[in-house]
Amino acid sequence: MPALTRAEAETRARLIAVQHYTVDLDLTRGDEVFGSTTVIRFTALADGDTFVELKPAVLHGAVLDGRPLDPAALDDNRLPLTGLAAGPHELRVEADMRYSRTGEGMHRFTDPSDGETYLYTQLFLDDVQRVVAAFDQPDLKAVFEVAVTAPPAWTVLGNGVAERTGEAEGRWRVAATPPISTYLLAVAAGPWHSVRTEHAGLPFGLHCRRSLAPYLDADVEELFDITRRCFDRYHELFEEPYPFDSYDQAFVPEFNAGAMENPGLVTFRDEMVFRSAVTDTERQTRGMVIAHEMAHMWFGDLVTLRWWDDIWLNESFAEYMGYQVLSEATRFTGTWTDFAVARKGWGYDADQRPSTHPVAPAPEAVPDTASALLNFDGISYAKGASALRQLVTWLGRKDFLAGINEHFARHRFGNAALADFIDSLAGATDRDVHAWADRWLRTTGVDTLTPVPVDADGGWRLDVTQQGGRPHRISVAAYDRAGADPAQLVLRERFETDVPADGETPGTRPGTRPDLVLLNDQDLTYAKIRFDARSWDTLVAALRGLPDPLSRALVWNAARDLVREGELRPAAYLDVARTHLPYETDIAVVQGVLGFARGQIADRYLPADERPGALATLEALARDLLTREDPGLRLAAARELIAATADTGALRGWLTEDALPGGPALDPELRWQILTRLSVLGAASAEDIAAELASDPSATGQEGAARCRAALPDPEAKRDAWARMFDGDTLSNYLFTATAQGFWQPEQFDLVGEYVPRFFPAAVAVAARRGPALAEAAGRWAFPVPVVESSVLDLGEECLRTGDPAPTPALRRRLADQLDDLRRALRVRTGSA
């Protein structure tokens, strides 16, 4: 499907204005296709030629102003519209469109639990043309009116209130939208389990598959409470009221993203309807996603980017507001600790790869939709949100909100670019916002701040050395060790200071030099921090004595950076974790430290002969955490214990007894995790997997079984898993991912070695056949991550350099990032990072 270029979009936007889409979908034509009729009313602003996009299975007909067009003129996804005269026009297109099994376009899913079928759209960026004919670019907004014919027992959801019409059985109409971009059109249909309420005069709804109904019902009050509280908080912050007629949230199967901000119908991956026990941090994360998507109703839906170089205007804003509003409006007050642990490293890592880009790239850096898709990464989300948090710190919350509200007023139901947003902010303050934006949004890389505390006359002086070029407004905390407990730390003072881009020093403080100087203490800026020798020695002995979990998260992030950059031995990180993590009270911190320690240090950064010792350390650490009273900490510990242990007898016993000693009772998630570990270790059979699947035949159970089968240390099992991933196209996106997750295991190098050179051509082929979603899955999950060898690097570089055929853009980006991570792992192993 040819990518739309920026130049083409600009040309078309000068030629036409689009007023209205009338869409009629027939979802009763079988398992492979659905009917799609689109009528578009638009105005040609001058005489000229253009095209409309659609990707049909069969194009039955197209009529422009009563004149039939030749269906054979359709060139891939473009139908030419030639000889347009200035003035109004009407285009009618009738087609059969294909259902998707990869989460793009109209995704079709049949629930293995009960045989019920569900459909939903995911039309982001350029996939609307898989469902309807459209002038598919974000700055050609229009009103959408949608009608749907569905099986009689189904419910239809859309961007507005959807009602049965009485015209015919299974006939639905969705209320007309205000002007929205084409990528925001949304429809979901199926025998949904729905719970409805009303708030602020608007209908609110929650929807999921029927098989998940008991789990949704268990969390309905929490979900509605978060939704209402965030909705009300946004109305306190924003002068523009919620701009749509309803607010539905649908938890849908096999969803590629975390969620999608369709106006009036937000879709979430339905793993957020929790079937198994979760930690409170995971509930907080779900709440953040709810708040994030709601923020998009204003920033993204009401005011939309003009072109895809301004992705950050959507995602960075929603990311920042999601964490901030959730902390202000709900019981989840520790959101920024979770952000520091779960998101900040994502941004730092992305910003240190060759594929890095500015938060706001130059227009020429995003020449088409294919390149735009690559920028949905840790920079557009985590770094951009961090930049906005720094902007609020520097600008002041009052002026920041005034600028945002001015932006909404100026561009209501329209489109805007970076310059428009900065102009709105600049009108609310005397500060030079344009210069700030140039330094923060148009540059790449991570600054590094290092304290240099020295004794001085009348006090102590804090110098800060900076590697980078941005000004920072940071909080600094000074701690002293005190008392008989070697881990006791007492906060002496916390103060804010500016660190200019030229590295001028913050100045002199009263008293003696503290034992610990912690820069960026409240995580107000985006910068890596380092420690002077005395501060690091203090942390090694007393990290658990830091009273604030956000401060502890910052230290753990810094330690993680030190390992990745070869400044701290991986074994030393494990020693610090073994000493201090058993005392940790914040679940996000525990999950983040354990995840890095096992997923990176044990599985990648340490040589193979040191891995068993690292896993033994993590197993002991997990057993210590299992003694804690907090059920969330025990659950996190149980997961780590299962992943780290090689004691097959214990694993089998836990599965038989349906519980861990001192830990939680087993639920489906933990049972599948134990069975996966047994499969990896060669202590489970195909019969064991089949028996577990019979007990849990759900979609999640199907994924668990696929993961276990691929993990079996058996040549035939590996051949079968490989064939299902790369030789056939029947696996859904989720089953492909589960199979890939099971395939590569650090314990099975000898068994899977022959597949390493086969991976690159196989991934290139599957990405070309099955599109960006499977390209992402292949590059992320099917890459031989545990094989930390230079030969993998050589093969990958050869693929990117001379591959014939060349990798698709989505796969190329993912492979480039994987290879950069592999280079880093090799450097850490050899001590040359």
Pairing state of beta strands 516-519 and 155-158?
A: unpaired
pLDDT in tens, 53-100: 999 999 999 999 999 999 999 999 999 999 999 999 999 999 999 999
- Alpha-carbon distance of 679 to 130, in angstroms, equals 39
Q: Among residues 263, 265, 250, 4, which one has the least CA distance to residue 143?
A: 263
Residue 146 is classified by DSSP as E
Q: What is the pLDDT of residues 615-636, one digit of tens each?
A: 999 999 999 999 999 999 999 9
Q: Model confidence over 521-541: pLDDT tens digits? A: 999 999 999 999 999 999 999
Cα distance between residue 553 and residue 558, in whole Å: 9
Pick the CATH number of 209-445 from 3.40.50.2000, 1.10.287.130, 1.10.390.10, 3.40.630.30: 1.10.390.10
Confidence of residue 455 (pLDDT cuts 50, 70, 90): confident
Q: Say how many C-beta atoms besides its own lie within 10 A of residue 217's C-beta.
A: 14
CA–CA dist 540, 470 (Å, integer): 30
668: closest CA among 688, 693, 649, 644?
693
pLDDT in tens, 359-374: 999 989 999 999 998 8
What is residue 308's DSSP assignment?
G
Asked if residue 220 has pLDDT above 80, the reply is yes
Q: What is the pTM of this model?
A: 0.97
Looking at the predicted structure, is the pLDDT value of residue 1 above 90?
no
Total residue length of the chain = 833
What are the catalytic residues? 293
Nearest to 215 by CA among 259, 277, 154, 266: 277
What residues have CB less than 8 Å from 184, skipping those under 6 apart? 123, 159, 261, 262, 263, 301, 304
Beta carbons within 8 Å of 479's beta carbon, 6+ residues apart: 489, 490, 491, 492, 514, 515, 516, 518, 538, 546
Q: Given CATH 2.60.40.1730, say whether it is the number of domain 1-191.
A: yes
Report yes or no: 157 and 188 within 8 Å, Cβ to Cβ. yes
Q: Dihedral of CA 688/689/691/696: which sign?
A: positive
DSSP string, 731-789: S-HHHHHHHHHHH--GGGHHHHGGGHHHHHHHHHHHHHHH-HHHHHHHHHHSS-TT---
Distances from the Cα of 447 to the Cα of 143, 388, 500, angstroms:
45, 16, 12
CB-CB contact of 141 with 108 (8 Å): no
Phi, psi of 473 (to 5 degrees): -110, 115
Assign 485 a pLDDT band (cuts: 50, 70, 90).
confident
Render pLDDT for 677-717 as a digit per residue (tens, 0 to 9).
999 999 999 999 999 999 999 999 999 999 999 999 999 99
Q: How confident is the model at residue 832 (pLDDT cuts 50, 70, 90)?
A: low
